[in-house]
């Protein structure tokens, strides 16, 4: 195979048909790269990548990362894993396998190719944090046997594997810890608070708030998240992470519900449900490292990002909205 020039790389994105992966692939293709999208479509959909099939630099491969993969690439973004509680709790053993076996297989591929590999980790490695905001040095407060443990501990184990491959094999790794991210192409039934609230509001259904609504989150728009990924991958070998990628603006779940009602002009009422087990009370990143090392910080305001996301769901639900 002829070598690929510095200006054009062949890049593998696992989980590429998912919400985050498909946006990342859009950006990589816009930059002129060739992209291999690998996904088993367990929690993702081909709809997210339908617009890419006519692009000669895009290739889709249906594959489960729990099994070895043999391709020739210059960089790997490992995003493969169901990320919403509804999806990852549906088959918790498979979720853990995807994080651990998937990491082993992708790290093995990167070791053979001697290429950079980025792990899409998560703020869930911090669990229900006793430190606020969360810095990368915080080791977390995670329940190892709870209903969310398949995801939380799977991602923690994947980080361990990445750093052991780095120390033992001098592999050029990058680890990004993603905080709550939202935007177009979210699954309408993924159980996440932003998509739940928007779908319920557009259909004038009761908006479900778990707990008392005072638990807080910070939400990062997907374009900002993708920019952070690309900047982290572009750093030299001395930068490995982990690096928090997220928005520092924190607001309560009740404030989010009211913002969605305002943007959608919904007639929905609020209803209250018990808080799920192990649901963290607070989640906000310290992004000092991202600012200092990547010269990155979020630029999309919450109201603007939510308005774009509402527009996506309004188009998706057009038939149901007209029937109201």
Query: What was the pLDDT predicted at 63?
Result: 97
- Contact (Cβ atoms closer than 8 angstroms) between residue 103 and residue 158: yes
Quick one: pLDDT at residue 316? Answer: 93
CATH number for the domain spanning 16: value is 3.40.50.720
Residue 217, beta-bridge partner list: 251
Is residue 258 domain-resident?
no
Q: Examine residue 16 and state whether it is found in any structural domain, yes or no.
A: yes
Residue 143 within a domain: yes
For residue 212, tell me if it sits in a domain: no
- Alpha carbons within 13 A on the beta-carbon side of 157: 17
* Cβ atoms 240, 272 nearer than 8 A: no
CA distance 289 to 145: 31
Catalytic residue status for 151:
yes
Structure confidence at residue 284 (pLDDT) = 86
**The overall pTM is greater than 0.85:** yes
Cα distance between residue 75 and residue 283, in whole Å:
31
285 burial (CB, 10 Å; 0-12 / 13-18 / 19+) is buried
Residue of 192, 25, 165 lying closest to 106 (CA atoms): 165
Residue 176 lies in a domain: yes
For the chain, state the CA radius of gyration: 19
Q: What is the pLDDT of residue 3?
A: 37
pLDDT at residue 84, as a whole number? 65
- What's the CA gap between 20 and 15, in Å, rounded? 8
Q: What length is written for the chain?
A: 324
Rounded to whole angstroms, how far apart are CA atoms 57 and 34?
5
Q: Which structural domain range is residue 64 located in? A: 10-184+220-245
Q: What pLDDT score does 131 carry?
A: 87
pLDDT score for 132: 86
Q: Is 227 within the bounds of a domain?
A: yes
Number of domains within the chain: 1
Does 265 fall in a domain? no
Establish if 72 belongs to a structural domain: yes
Of 88, 126, 151, 221, the catalytic one is: 151
pLDDT at 1: 33
The alpha carbon of residue 215 and the mean position of all alpha carbons in its chain are separated, in whole angstroms, by: 21
| pLDDT values of the chain reduced to their tens digit, one per residue, 324 residues | 333 445 899 999 999 999 999 999 999 999 999 999 999 998 899 999 999 999 999 999 999 999 999 999 999 999 999 876 777 788 899 999 999 999 999 999 999 999 999 999 999 999 988 888 999 999 989 999 988 888 899 999 999 999 999 999 999 999 999 999 999 999 888 878 899 999 999 999 999 998 888 888 889 999 999 999 999 999 999 999 999 999 999 889 999 999 999 999 999 999 998 876 656 677 789 999 999 999 999 999 999 999 999 999 999 999 888 887
Asked whether 118 and 175 are in contact (CB, 8 A), the reply is yes
Please choose, from the candidates 80, 12, 14, 19, the residue with its C-alpha nearest in 3D space to the C-alpha of residue 220: 19
């Amino acid at each position: 195979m002829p070598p690929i020039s510095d200006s054009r790389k062949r890049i593998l994105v696992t989980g590429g048909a998912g919400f985050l992966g498909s946006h990342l692939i859009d950006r990589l293709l816009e930059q002129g790269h060739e992209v291999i999208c690998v996904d088993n479509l367990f929690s993702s959909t081909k709809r997210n990548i339908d617009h890419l099939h006519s692009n000669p630099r895009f290739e889709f491969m249906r594959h489960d990362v729990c099994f070895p993969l043999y391709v020739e690439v210059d960089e790997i973004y490992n995003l493969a894993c169901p990320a919403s509680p509804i999806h990852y709790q549906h088959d918790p053993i498979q979720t853990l396998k995807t994080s651990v076996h998937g990491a082993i297989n992708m790290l093995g591929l990167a070791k053979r190719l001697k290429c950079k590999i980025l792990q899409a980790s998560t703020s869930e490695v911090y669990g229900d944090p006793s430190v606020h905001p969360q810095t990368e040095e915080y080791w977390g407060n995670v329940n190892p046997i709870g209903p969310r443990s398949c995801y939380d501990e799977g991602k923690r184990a994947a980080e361990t594997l990445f750093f052991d491959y780095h120390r033992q094999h001098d592999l050029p790794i990058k680890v990004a810890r993603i905080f709550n991210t939202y935007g177009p192409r979210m699954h309408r039934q993924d159980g996440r608070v932003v998509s739940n609230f928007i779908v319920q509001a557009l259909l004038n259904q009761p908006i479900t708030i778990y707990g008392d609504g005072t638990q807080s989150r910070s939400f990062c728009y997907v374009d900002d998240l993708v920019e952070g990924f690309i900047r982290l991958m572009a750093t030299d070998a001395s930068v490995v992470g982990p690096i928090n990628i997220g928005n520092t603006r924190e607001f309560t779940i009740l404030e989010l519900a009211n913002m969605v009602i305002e943007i959608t002009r919904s007639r929905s009422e609020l209803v209250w449900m018990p808080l799920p087990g192990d649901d963290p009370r607070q989640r906000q990143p310290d992004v000092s490292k991202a600012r200092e090392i990547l010269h990155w910080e979020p630029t999309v305001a919450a109201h603007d990002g939510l308005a774009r996301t509402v527009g996506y769901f309004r188009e998706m639900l057009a038939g149901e909205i007209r029937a109201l």
